[in-house]
A = this chain, B = another copy of it.
Amino acid sequence: MSPDWLDTIHWNPDGLIPAIAQETGTGKVLMLAWMNRESLQCTLETGEAVYWSRSRQRLWHKGESSGNTQRVVQMRLDCDRDTLLLEVEQRGGIACHTGRHNCFYHRYQDGDWQVVEPVLKDPDQMYGDKT
């Protein structure tokens, strides 16, 4: 049986809920990913963010390849019970697979999306040991 706290969540038709990761201290929004029941339960049990990878259709322990895991400080649920907000400590200071601090590095300016955040670490270096 599922615990009640999982049952009160409004999962979408695919059994998923969007989860926003926000950095503790800075308040910066790092990324948005998706969770299913199992990944949320893993997150609670391990204290580290575990998402559901829609592209790979498997549990995704954030940072499993790069080492840039996210320690969860607190979890929030919204009024409609269909969005999660995670306050996290971002290990390595890099949340994005492009080597940037966070994933929201395109800013709308002058009629298009401009890249406005620097690459802090070469992705080849981040994932080099896995190729």
Contacts and interface: CB of A to CB of B under 8 A. Distances in A.
Interface string A49-78: 000000000000000000000000011111
Contact of A79 (B75, B77, B105): B105
Interface residues of A, number: 37
A83 B22 CA distance: 14
A11 interface: no
Nearest to A32: B83
Contacts of A45: none
A18 B5 contact: no
Nearest to A76: B104
B8 A113 contact: yes
A22 B85 CA distance: 12
A98 B76 contact: no
29 contacts: A3-B111, A5-B111, A18-B32, A20-B29, A20-B32, A26-B27, A27-B27, A27-B28, A31-B83, A32-B78, A32-B83, A76-B105, A76-B106, A76-B107, A76-B108, A77-B108, A77-B113, A78-B103, A78-B104, A78-B105, A79-B96, A79-B98, A79-B100, A79-B103, A81-B106, A81-B113, A83-B103, A83-B104, A85-B104
